[in-house]
Copies of this chain bind each other. A is one copy, B any other.
Amino acid sequence: MQFSVATTPITNSNFKSRAFKVVSDHLATLKANGEKGTSIGTASRADPILPPLTPEDTSMFPSQAVNTYVAYTSPWIDLCSNDPVIANISRQVLNLEVNYASWCGVKSIIITGPGQDASKDGGNQGLAQYSRAIQEVLTIAPSISILIHIPMYREPLVGVQNETLSSLNEQETSKAAGGDIDIFTSWDSWNQIRSVCKYNPRLLVALKVPKVMAEKDLQNRWFCEPLHYLTLGPEVFQKNKAGYPSLTRNHQDMIFAYMRLKNAPWLLLCDVGPDVRHITDGKDEKPPLSEADFPSLEEARRPAFRVSTDSNVYCEYLRWLETQQAPFSVLETPILTNFQDWLQSPLQPLSDNLESATYEVFENDAIKYDQYELAIAEALKEWNELNLPTSKPGVIVMAVAGSGRGPIVTKAIQAAESTGSKVEVWALEKNPNAYVYLLRQNAQKWGGKVNVVKTDMRAWKGPLISESPETGPVYGKIDILISELLGSFGDNELSPECLDGIQHVLAKPHGISIPQSYTAHLSPIATPKLYADIYTRAQTDATAFDTPWVVSLFQLDFVAQKVPGHPRFQEAWEFSHPIPDSTLDAVVARRSGGVVGGTGGSMAGAAGANDHNSRFCHLTFVARTRGVAHGLAGYFESTLYERKSGPSKGKKTEISIHPERIDEKSKDMVSWFPIFFPLKQPLYFPADTELEVSMWRQTDDTKVWYEWLVEAWTWVGPSARVKVASSDICSSRKIACLM
């Protein structure tokens, strides 16, 4: 599909001349009167008034076409100026232009980002003013997208600076270039601007691609920001052997990476052809008005890059580049891509009954069920090899607790067949609708061999062996208890509590649980988009920031480095099953009030019957560059079965959504997205910071919830670490999972 968009300046050089004249006249008057024009807070200045727009100042007028334009404001203003007159006139120009473009019907406006030294030490006075001006502009134009045109990093000043209002003030023009390049200053400026504007979703980035591609850390940082355009000037391109423009491998890789975003940025070519030149850096003010007003600029996007019909060598190159992208992986199918960074409320697994369609989605995950089959087969093999006693002579009794529509029952039967094991299978399900389906499956598919029971697993007494008037009902035990109760964070859908509740039917001492154990893992991340999304929800949902969201995290930046001893992903805690008998006895005692008058629980008013399932961890992550954390990404791993004997001793059958290990353990498994624990306030930290995460799994006698706290400690010397920031203790208590 072909596509193109026009960009246009809002005002022209006529307006610029008039604005410059207003300021220079004013400065001349001040000089003549011996007044200082640059001191701040001087008494009642008579700041100059910007003259109103005339038809000679602009070529933009309301029309059908105008709301397809991307307008850009005058690049010669200096909102950051230390000179109050220049800063004031710059704000007037900005307001006037945005106001006028908005009136004409424009839908998005590009504004030149803050200048070179806006975020240097001591120079951030200007940035505060710039940010405040942008905040006001978002108010002036309440339905327009504002795009800040900002370089990926700030290159040292070289050559001639563009003419801006500040050129009129001698003190302003003496600013020196030089010093080391700090490649994060540009991102820092952006971070302050959008923070002041409270992550307004209409505030976006037009990122200027540099001639020399930045290091990966910085590319990843920008990856998570709301990129709307990538702008490419001719200087970004190299000539290939044939003399045609091309991009370096590093540039290509960056573009390929950014194009994988659900909302991929548009590519905006600047100054690359006779009719495609005018974008906001103000370098080219020369062409007469008739030519400068409606340059048509090329855009291209994914899945197909979109390139205009113009036959321009740059466009042709991008069209070729588009064909060089890697094909989609399993996790990049359109359906899964749609889920990118889309917040889902967590399930209430014990109180919600799932729909059939939900079951169906999960059942489609072949990887997961294959791992379950493998784990069951391994368990059966080892049981046979070790010739362990069974709870029913000659038969291994298996139960699938929470069978749903039966996929694991099928796998268990297959595993028994493949290993030649004699088994008895029980399928337990509390959902009355799924129960109907299980009965039909048993009749149609399992040959009636499965014992289907409608029950909450915690209330089940075990397989009924016999019943007589003398003995009453006699119940047996289970040898292998199979469940799929894991959530994105492992224990977050109450697997520990459910399995504790059914453990009394597990045979002793050989009964096993599949899964045998599971671990939760954390990493602090930057996700401006999710933060903005949750911030918006929080206006109407008081618990938005208290919610651990299930979300296919994609547009994120891992703020933690991979450092020996401090990996990027760290284990929070582990659960394993079955739990020791002594623990189970204590639980039963507390639950039944065996501890009279006890207030032993960690939580207000609780008896502590579930305290053994509480957890705490304290993890230290290392951030090399400065940045901002918006929350914690959570993942799980689970050992479904581990061989405990023989030559394969220690061999594990596992599933994992740990980003560094999913490919090794359960590649292409799609059943679980990560979990996201948000922070109420973005946590900013300097370079060389250690992020200390305290995380709790809290529980009283009726609920389970999480609490999380992030603190930042920065190294200020080889041996001194100072605290620089702390989040609140965040808590999901208000929306806790009910047991």
A44 to chain B: closest residue by CB:
B579
A94 to chain B: closest residue by CB:
B602
Known A-B contacts A608-B92, A687-B722, A725-B684; the reply to A600 vs B49 at CB < 8 A is yes
Complex interface: stretch among A104-112, A157-165, A590-598: A590-598
Complex interface: stretch among A143-151, A384-392, A438-446, A570-578: A570-578
State the Cβ distance, A92 to closest chain B Cβ, in Å.
Answer: 5
- Give residues of chain A (601-654) contacting chain B, Cβ–Cβ below 8 Å: 601-605, 608, 611-618, 620, 626
Q: Binary interface profile of A, 184-203, with partner B (CB < 8 Å = 1, else 0)? A: 00001000100110100000
Known A-B contacts A121-B713, A618-B40, A707-B132; the reply to A49 vs B726 at CB < 8 A is no
Q: Binary interface profile of A, 713-739, with partner B (CB < 8 Å = 1, else 0)? A: 111110001111110110000000000
State the Cβ distance, A692 to closest chain B Cβ, in Å.
Answer: 7
Report the Cα distance A692→B125, complex, angstroms: 8
A51 interfacial by beta-carbon distance below 8 Å? yes
A602 and B136 form a contact (CB under 8 A): yes
B195 and A40 form a contact (CB under 8 A): no
Pick the contact of A726: B599, B614, B684 (CB < 8 A): B684
State the Cβ distance, A95 to closest chain B Cβ, in Å.
Answer: 6
State the Cβ distance, A575 to closest chain B Cβ, in Å.
Answer: 6
Complex interface: stretch among A307-315, A454-462, A524-532, A580-588: A580-588
Report the Cα distance A692→B124, complex, angstroms: 9
A724 and B714 form a contact (CB under 8 A): yes
Residues of B near A726 (CB, < 8 A) are 192, 195, 684
Report the Cα distance A140→B604, complex, angstroms: 5
Known A-B contacts A125-B618, A600-B96, A716-B686; the reply to A132 vs B50 at CB < 8 A is no
Known A-B contacts A602-B92, A618-B128; the reply to A44 vs B576 at CB < 8 A is yes
Residues of B near A243 (CB, < 8 A) are none
A495 interfacial by beta-carbon distance below 8 Å? no
Report the Cα distance A709→B716, complex, angstroms: 25
Report the Cα distance A99→B605, complex, angstroms: 8
Residues of B near A687 (CB, < 8 A) are 722
B139 and A723 form a contact (CB under 8 A): no
A155 interfacial by beta-carbon distance below 8 Å? no
B46 and A196 form a contact (CB under 8 A): no
Residues of B near A192 (CB, < 8 A) are 726
State the Cβ distance, A299 to closest chain B Cβ, in Å.
Answer: 30
Residues of B near A713 (CB, < 8 A) are 121
Pick the contact of A125: B52, B597, B614, B694 (CB < 8 A): B694
A517 interfacial by beta-carbon distance below 8 Å? yes
Known A-B contacts A608-B92, A696-B132, A729-B132; the reply to A599 vs B44 at CB < 8 A is no
Residues of B near A612 (CB, < 8 A) are 44-47
State the Cβ distance, A652 to closest chain B Cβ, in Å.
Answer: 15
Report the Cα distance A50→B600, complex, angstroms: 6
A41 and B722 form a contact (CB under 8 A): no
Report the Cα distance A580→B46, complex, angstroms: 7
Report the Cα distance A409→B683, complex, angstroms: 57
Pick the contact of A95: B601, B616, B707 (CB < 8 A): B601
State the Cβ distance, A162 to closest chain B Cβ, in Å.
Answer: 24
Number of interface residues of A (CB under 8 A): 101
- Give residues of chain A (76-104) contacting chain B, Cβ–Cβ below 8 Å: 84, 87-88, 91-92, 95-96, 99-100
B128 and A709 form a contact (CB under 8 A): yes
B41 and A615 form a contact (CB under 8 A): yes
B44 and A580 form a contact (CB under 8 A): yes
B128 and A574 form a contact (CB under 8 A): no
A43 interfacial by beta-carbon distance below 8 Å? yes
B125 and A574 form a contact (CB under 8 A): no
Pick the contact of A49: B586, B618, B684 (CB < 8 A): B586
B728 and A124 form a contact (CB under 8 A): no
Q: Binary interface profile of A, 685-708, with partner B (CB < 8 Å = 1, else 0)? A: 111000010101000000000010
State the Cβ distance, A716 to closest chain B Cβ, in Å.
Answer: 4
Residues of B near A135 (CB, < 8 A) are 729
B597 and A53 form a contact (CB under 8 A): yes
Report the Cα distance A131→B727, complex, angstroms: 13
A129 interfacial by beta-carbon distance below 8 Å? yes
B723 and A129 form a contact (CB under 8 A): no
Residues of B near A414 (CB, < 8 A) are none
B92 and A597 form a contact (CB under 8 A): no
Residues of B near A128 (CB, < 8 A) are 618, 694, 709, 711, 729
A13 interfacial by beta-carbon distance below 8 Å? no
A358 interfacial by beta-carbon distance below 8 Å? no
Report the Cα distance A707→B618, complex, angstroms: 39
Report the Cα distance A136→B700, complex, angstroms: 12
Residues of B near A540 (CB, < 8 A) are none
A42 interfacial by beta-carbon distance below 8 Å? yes
Report the Cα distance A602→B93, complex, angstroms: 9
B40 and A95 form a contact (CB under 8 A): no
State the Cβ distance, A111 to closest chain B Cβ, in Å.
Answer: 16
Closest 7 CB pairs of A and B: A41-B573, A46-B583, A125-B618, A686-B722, A44-B579, A52-B597, A128-B694
What are 9 A-B pairs at a CB distance below 8 A?
A41-B571, A43-B576, A44-B583, A45-B583, A46-B582, A49-B589, A122-B620, A131-B729, A195-B728
Q: A49-B586, A100-B599, A125-B618 are in contact. List 15 more A-B contacts (CB 8 A).
A: A41-B616, A44-B580, A46-B579, A49-B600, A49-B608, A53-B597, A88-B602, A88-B614, A122-B620, A136-B603, A136-B604, A140-B604, A195-B726, A626-B722, A724-B725
